[in-house]
């Protein structure tokens, strides 16, 4: 992942405040923390001269829609659909012991991970152990991924 300076260099650096932040640097910091989206910077989206930078940033941050409430991101382009996360996720095991927990296709609607068209899809993220009051830093899905396709931000 890029650092804040690299992101800043790709922004308009005009401190126009259209995004609601006081400076482009502040926007860069929030972008890195994924509190804002690339599209929240109007000049970047609308002005032709920033087109290349806009596209680079979009590539860096993937499609921000995919960031779930727990900060879970699946990098679709890296995922091989092996299902390691599907089977290793403790929540999947608990909610679907004879399907996902036993290595097979999930048979319950309560699973967090499910492979569709060869790529893993995250859902029911509120069930993730990183969420809620007693949250813990579970890494089962990250550690078992052979291509580092899963990330928490």
Partner 1 sequence: MTGEYYVCTGCALLCDDIEVETEDRKLSKVHAACLKGVARMKGCSDPLECTVDGEKADIDSAITKAAAILRNAKNPLIFGHGNSSSEAQKISIGLAKKTGAYIDDTSSFCQGPIVEAILQDKLRTCTLDDVRHKADVIIFWGADPSNSHPRHLSRYSYFPRGKERQRGWEEDRTAITIDIRKSSTAKICRDTRFYQIPMSADAEFMDAIVSGLSGKIPKTSFDFDKKRILELANVMKKAKFGVICVGLGLVYSLEELEPLFKLMEKLNEVSNFYLIPMVGQYNMRGFNQNLFAETGFINRVKFNSETGNANHGAENSVVEALKNKSVDAALIIGSDPLSSLPLSVARYLTEIPLITIDPCQNLTATRSTVTIPCALGGVEAGGTAVRMDGVEIELKKIVESDNLSDKEILTRIMEAI
CB-based contact 105:90 (threshold 8 Å): no
Nearest-angstrom CA–CA distance, 104 and 86: 9
Q: Please select the residue that binds partner 1; options are 20, 33, 42, 81, rule is CB under 8 A.
A: 81
Contacts (CB under 8 A) with partner 1, residues 13-72: none
Q: Is 128 in the site for partner 1 (CB under 8 A)?
A: no
Q: HSE on the CB side for 18, CA within 13 Å?
A: 14
Q: Please select the residue that binds partner 1; options are 88, 111, 112, 150, rule is CB under 8 A.
A: 88
3-state secondary structure at position 74: strand
From the CB of 101, what's the least distance to partner 1, in Å? 5
CB-based contact 77:84 (threshold 8 Å): no
Q: Is 149 in the site for partner 1 (CB under 8 A)?
A: no
From the CB of 24, what's the least distance to partner 1, in Å? 37
- Contacting positions for partner 1 (CB under 8 A): 79-84, 86-88, 90, 93, 97, 101-106, 114-119, 143-147
């Amino acid at each position: 992942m890029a650092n804040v300076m690299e992101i800043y260099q790709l922004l308009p650096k005009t401190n126009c405040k259209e995004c609601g932040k006081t400076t482009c640097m502040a926007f860069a910091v929030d972008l890195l923390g994924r509190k804002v989206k690339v599209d929240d910077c109007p000049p970047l989206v609308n002005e032709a001269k920033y087109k290349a930078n806009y596209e680079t940033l979009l590539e860096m941050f993937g499609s921000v829609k995919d960031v779930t409430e727990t900060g879970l991101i699946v990098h679709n382009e890296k995922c091989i659909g092996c299902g390691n996360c599907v089977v290793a996720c403790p929540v999947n095991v608990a909610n679907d012991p004879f399907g996902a927990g036993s290595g097979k296709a999930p048979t319950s609607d309560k699973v967090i991970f499910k492979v569709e068209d060869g790529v893993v899809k995250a859902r029911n993220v509120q069930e993730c152990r990183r969420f809620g009051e007693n949250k813990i830093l579970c890494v089962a899905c990250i550690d078992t991924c052979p291509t580092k396709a899963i990330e928490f931000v």
